[in-house]
Structure 1
Amino acid sequence: MRSAFYITVDDRYLGIGQAQARRLHALWGIDVHVFVEGEGGKFRDENGRDGVFLHRNLMDDLIPQGLPATESWPRIVYGRIFAPYLLPQYDRLIYLDADIFPMVRADELLGLALPGGLAAVQDAASIGSAPRSAGGLDRAAWLRSIGVQGARYFNAGVMMLDRQAWASVDFGAELLAFMTRYGDAAHTQDQDFLNCYFQGRWTEISPRFNFQKAHFNYGYEQVFPPVFLHFSSFEKPWLQEAAPDTVHGQFFRPYQQMMGAAGVDYRQYLRPRRQSVMRRLRGGMRKWLTQRGIRTGKERRQWQEWRQKSDALYQGFRDDAAAGRYRDMDFLLDRRPEPELSFDGSYLRRSLDVSFDPVQ
């Protein structure tokens, strides 16, 4: 069975995608395809130097026109649905978002059965609640609003799919039909569509394979050692150096090294931290008070939100363990993790207790 990774990016993320692809190939030893949509003409790399194939503007005719897109959810995200049509030489394809750091190789992923054609990881941000974009709906009502009748909802940042089964579906027509019916409620558009289309049929795998930002503060990296670390928020570790006791600060240098190994100049991706003087002053004052044992309202609210999410994750993972939901592993969870967190004046934070494989 022949397998490959694929990544879809626009020109803004091209260097990030190339660096990620080089690391993936070095770790896993299988082909990696980078699809970039942007300026310039069509290009198809048939040779794949060092196992990485770069393709440009091959999906414009595949992705239907008129699909909703925003700056934070651009048109290129739909490419993860349509790129598999262009890779008929493979049996299995693994899609990764470009903001994922490949940590280690885990060959058992490639051998998993896919009776429904797709494997993915539950979306961590929506465990126990609906996303903020749902406008105050409870979780069950939010899922119904996007056509999902069950309780499981996956994050599409990592997906393994059966390419032949995928290619048999007219996803253009299916996606347009979904948008006609549910588009007003769909805010993570193609992810909501995929959850609706594959409901009751997707194979669930553990957070090892998509360890998301919403997992970071809760201590589960020892239960689910990350294979793919997903920076699934507006904060990205390559943008600016952060405090070393945050995950973004922890991975600032590894991202520089990964880009350097791929011949990408990391400096083109650096961005100044945008924060008003007043906000910095207020954050500094709250941190100063915390260091003296005085908790401000902001910190109390942060801890309250953390406890609510911690309760939801713990109960959710216990239920998953009891039900044996994860196809790749069995696990026990007899106590809640108790990670050490600090308050930086704005947010609770910690670094992860993880390691990753070095590659040349």
Structure 2
Amino acid sequence: MPYQDEGNAPEYPAGKKYIQMVNTSQQLGFSASGPARNRKAIMFCCDQNYLVFAAHAASQIADLHPQRDFDICICFDKRPVSVPDTLDHLNIRLCHVKTGDLFKGLRLDRGKSHDVYLRLALPLAFADDYDRILYLDSDIFIQGGDFSSLMDVDFAPHPIAAVRDNTQWRTPKRRPKQFKTLNLPAAPYFNAGVILMDVTRYNEQNLLDRCLTLGKEHADIMIRHDQNLYNSVLQGDWAELSPMWNWQFTWSSLLFAMQIEPHLVHFIGKTKPWKDPKGELSPRFAKAMQAFSERYFPDLDVLQAAGQPLAPDSAKMRKMLLKHFVSGARTQRYLNRFSDDLQVITSRSR
């Protein structure tokens, strides 16, 4: 069961008591279901709608690391989250990160809350608890990998390490659209679905404040959310991880993933295992998530739309095969940059 404070902690979802904490650096407050157990953590930021997917990924990581030396945290702010008691065996640290008006003035897509920016504040909020934070999106599927060793890799002097966005896998010099609108030169551009953060360097380099300043000054021309803030501020000042840790799953890379077997599959775009009307993804992803949901979230109907798998003679299958044939050499060239899954490429060696 979650840790319970002896004081007058307020009631949070599911009627559990949560210990009150405040970060001393800039008074970013938060409540948590227990104290930090280790000096590094894997963190998800989600609302109740995506909790089942974050919890599924957390359970996959926990299964890989039965004697783990890192915490697994699920964080939220404006939209509350309640983890069912049946998942107590995962020892998830549920954290309410209280950002107040920190993100006010940043652009938002319709239907979104400022919680989409929450990952920006994690190193500041948890400065007293963790030295390393591995942030993960919830729309992922874990297949393997030593996550503890990943969080120990050296990527100095950079504040973060991440995987290049798939738009630059085959065309590394492509200039992102956001860079064009901000009149910035081309630079390596990463996907923010997996970010390894060095807490001290992140805070010493004022990465949060720099992102907030840029985002509020140019809110009218910003695209998406914090991914473009990070990349526009850093302009290549980040360390590059192997795509094994963030294989961005698209129809044009699906077959390569079957051969490479990446540690982490990231379902970017609108097609997800639980929302795949055209049957573009392997059914195994949806089956695994559905089995998990039926066991721990029995009241949810996870599979919103699941079509039949692509037929071998379908137009989309033929297009997929042609795309793979044309891009194979450039994809291999990108993969060859990494001698193993824990190699880190810094800006000095690019």
Same fold (TM over 0.5): yes
Question: 1:99 aligned to 2:134?
Answer: no
Equivalent in the alignment of 2:204: 168
Residues 63, 82 of structure 1: 8 Å contact kept: no
Residues 290, 302 of structure 2: 8 Å contact kept: no
Equivalent in the alignment of 1:259: 293
Question: 1:80 aligned to 2:114?
Answer: no
For residues 1-360 of structure 1, the aligned pairs below 5 Å read 2-28=39-65, 29=68, 30-39=70-79, 50-56=90-96, 58-61=97-100, 63-71=102-110, 74-87=113-126, 88-106=128-146, 107-115=148-156, 116-127=158-169, 139-140=174-175, 142=177, 143-146=179-182, 148-180=184-216, 182-214=218-250, 217-221=253-257, 224-239=260-275, 243=279, 246-260=280-294, 263-265=296-298, 267-272=300-305, 291=313, 299=315, 307=322, 311-312=326-327, 314-315=329-330, 317-318=332-333, 321=336, 328-329=342-343
Distance 1:144 1:41, change over 3 A: closer
SS at match of 1:104: coil
* Matched letter for residue 250 of structure 2: A
Q: Which is worse superposed, 185-194 or 214-223?
A: 214-223
- Could you give the per-residue CA deviations for residues 68-101 of structure 1, whole angstroms, max 9, x where no partner exists? 1114765322111112222232111101000011
* Matched letter for residue 108 of structure 1: S
1:38 to partner: Cα distance:
3.9
Equivalent in the alignment of 1:337: none
SS at match of 1:34: strand
Counterpart-to-counterpart distance in 1, 2:131 and 2:228: 25
SS at match of 2:301: helix
* Matched letter for residue 328 of structure 1: L
Distance 1:100 1:141, change over 3 A: closer
Counterpart-to-counterpart distance in 1, 2:56 and 2:341: 30
Distance 1:254 1:49, change over 3 A: closer
**Identity fraction in percent:** 21
Q: Which runs of 5+ in 1 are unaligned?
A: 131-137, 331-360
* Matched letter for residue 208 of structure 1: M
1:152 to partner: Cα distance:
1.5
**Structure with greater helix percent:** 1
Counterpart-to-counterpart distance in 2, 1:159 and 1:220: 23
* Matched letter for residue 3 of structure 1: K
Q: Which runs of 5+ in 2 are unaligned?
A: 1-37, 345-350
Residues 6, 33 of structure 1: 8 Å contact kept: yes
Residues 59, 83 of structure 1: 8 Å contact kept: no
Counterpart-to-counterpart distance in 2, 1:74 and 1:316: 36
Counterpart-to-counterpart distance in 2, 1:183 and 1:121: 25
Counterpart-to-counterpart distance in 1, 2:303 and 2:335: 39
Equivalent in the alignment of 2:6: none
| CA RMSD, 1 decimal | 3.9
